[in-house]
Amino acid sequence: MPDSTPSRILDELAAILGPRGLLTEPADIAPHLSDWRALYRGAAFAVARPASTEEVAAVVRLCAAAGVPITPQGGNTSMVGGATPDESGRHLVLSLARVNRIRALDPLDMTMTAEAGVVLKAAQDAAAEAGCLFPLSLGAEGSATIGGVLSTNAGGNTTVRYGNARELMLGLEAVLPDGSIWNGLRRLRKDNTGYALRHLLVGAEGTLGIVTAAVLRLFPRARDTALAFCAVADEDAALALFRRFRDRDESAVRAFEYMSGTGVDFCTSHIEGVTLPLEARADHYVLVDLASPRPDAQLREMAESVLFEAMQAEEVTDAAIAANEAQAQKIWRIREEHPEAQKREGASVKNDVSVPVSKVPEMIRRCSAALRELIPGSRPVPFGHIGDGNIHMNLEQPEGMDPAAFLARSHDIMDCVNAVVRDLGGSFSAEHGIGRLKTDMMEDWRGGAELAAMRAIKAALDPQGLMNPGKVLP
C-alpha cells in the first residue's frame, strides 16, 4: 500500500465511518471474503460499511488518495466472483448494506428512488404496498441489492416481459472513482443530454464507480394471474408453447421458464417441500406465469385454452394450473430451487449463456450431446429463461466422481458449451456478468475495437485502476 500504512488508513476510515461502519476483526470480515458458489476466497484489510452517499464518497476519496483498491459489495450473491476481493489483502471491501433507504415512491410518476443497499425483495414489497409493481425477480431476491442488480444488469425471470435491470432504471446516483458524487437521479422518461452515463455504470460490475441510489420504474400491479406447470414433449415443444401464449396475449406472459427432467429430479429429491405437481415424471418441463393489470383478463381460461390446443398438437403431455397463490408459489419453488438442488447433488459447472430464442432447442441438444461425450456419465442440467433465450446450460458431475477432478475440467466444459453458443450467434455471459470467472474469455469474445473502447473508458474514469480491479477486463 503506497505511502499510507494500513493503520493510518484504518484510523481515517474509523473517523469517517464510526464504530458501526468499519469491520476489522477476521470473524466479522470473513463472510465478505468468499462468494455464494465458494469458487473464490479473498482477503481484505477491512470492510467499510458507510451509511450514506456522503460517507461512500469520503471513503472513495480516501482510497483514491492512498492508492487503495476497492471491492464494492451488495448482497454478495454474485455467480461469477464479482464481489470477492483478490488474495493480496490490499483491498478494502466497500459494503453498501447500510445505504438502504427508500427515498421516494411516486405512484403517479410510477417511480421509486431507492438506495443501493435496499434488498430487492424490500423494493418489491415497498412497490406492492403502494399498489404498484417492481417487476425484477430472481432466486436471490432476498439478499441481492438494488446496487448489485444494477451493477450486474441482472435479468431473472421477468426479462421476457419487463426487460433486464437496465430497462427498469431511469436515473442513477453514483460516487465516481475520484470520490465525486454524481447526482443523476432524474425521474424522466425522456432525457437525451449527451452520453448516457447511467447506462455506462449499469452492468459495469463496480469497475467504474459505486452506485449509491437509483430511480426505478414501477408498473401497475397484477390484478389477474394464472400459473401453469407443464410437461412438454421436447425443447421444440417448449418453444412452440411459448409462441402459442405469446401469440394469444404477449403482454400477459410474465415469465416462461424451461426445466429439464434431471434438474426437476434434483429439486424433488434434495429440497424439502418441493414435489412434482404432475402424475408422471417427464424429460422436459415448462413453467408459464401469466399476469395482467386487468381484473377481467381471464388468464386461467386463457391458459386452459392454450394448453388444450398444445395437448392436441402433442406438444404438452400433461399440465397443472395452480388453484391459488399458495400453490403458485409452491410450483415456483421447483424452478427457483434449481441452483441449491444442483449444489446438493455435487459439483457442477455453470454456463450462463444466451442464443437467439429460435436457436435454444438446438443449443440445448448440441451442448448436451457434446458435454456427455466430453465427460462420460456427466449430467447436463439446462434450465432457465427460455422466453428470452437465456439458458443455464449447467453440467453436474458424474455420480461417484471426485468433485475436484470434475471441477478441474471446468474450462474444457465451458469451452465445449461456448463453441456451440458462438456458432449459434450467442453470448458466453447472458445475465450473471463477467466478474472474475470470465475475464479470460473477454479477449476472445470482445477483443479488438470493443475491448479497446472498454479499456479507454475504464482508463478515463478510473486512471488508477482502483475500482474492483481484476474484474470484467482482462
Q: Is 72 in the site for ligand FAD (CB under 6 A)?
A: yes
- Buried/exposed 243-266: b ≥16 CB within 10 Å, e otherwise: ebbbeeeeebbbbbbbbbebbbbb
Binding residue for ligand FAD, selected from 53, 77, 158, 262, defined by CB under 6 A: 77
Among 135, 156, 389, 469, binds ligand FAD (CB under 6 A): 156
Residue whose C-alpha cell is 400477459: 252
- What is the distance in angstroms between the CA of the first residue and the CA of the last residue of the chain? 22
Radius of gyration over alpha carbons of the chain, in Å?
Answer: 23
| 230 contact choice in ligand FAD, Zn ion, ligand 2HG, none (CB below 5 to 8 Å, kind-dependent) | none
Nearest residue (CB) to Zn ion, 74 versus 384: 384
**Helix, strand, coil fractions of the chain, as percent rounded to 5:** 40, 20, 40
**Sites for ligand 2HG among residues 130-159 (CB under 6 A):** 139
Binding residues among 108-137 for Zn ion as defined by CB under 5 A: none
Site for ligand FAD in 133-152 (CB under 6 A): 138-140, 143-145, 147-149, 151-152
Q: Is 223 helix (H, G, I), strand (E, B) or coil?
A: coil
CB 126 within 8 A of CB 105: yes
Distances (CA, A) of 461 to 20, 85, 194, 203: 30, 20, 16, 15
Residue written as grid cell 432504471: 169
Closest C-alpha among 268, 277, 293 to residue 228: 277
Of residues 367 through 426, those in contact with ligand 2HG by CB under 6 A are 384, 392, 394
CB of 197 to ligand FAD, least distance (A): 14
Binding mask 421-460 for ligand FAD (x = CB under 6 A): ----------xx--x-------------------------
Among 32, 198, 244, 350, binds ligand 2HG (CB under 6 A): 350
Confirm or reject binding of residue 262 to ligand 2HG (CB under 6 A).
no
Cβ 436 to ligand FAD shortest distance, Å: 9
For the CB of residue 138, give the shortest distance to ligand 2HG in the complex, in Å: 6
Q: Of residues 355-384, which lie at the interface with Zn ion (CB under 5 A)?
A: 384
Question: How many Å apart are CA 441 and CA 428, to the nearest integer?
Answer: 8
- Residue 339 within binding range of ligand 2HG, rule CB under 6 A: yes
How many helices and strands, by DSSP H and E, does the chain display?
A: 17, 19
Beta bridge partners of 213: 115, 173
The count of chain residues that interact with ligand FAD, using the rule CB under 6 A, is 38
CA distance 22 to 295: 50
* Residue position matching grid coordinates 432447442: 361
**Interacting residues toward ligand 2HG by CB under 6 A:** 139, 338-339, 350, 384, 392, 394
**Interacting residues toward Zn ion by CB under 5 A:** 384
**Interacting residues toward ligand FAD by CB under 6 A:** 36, 71-79, 82-83, 96, 116, 138-140, 143-145, 147-149, 151-152, 154-156, 205-206, 210-211, 339, 431-432, 435, 468, 471
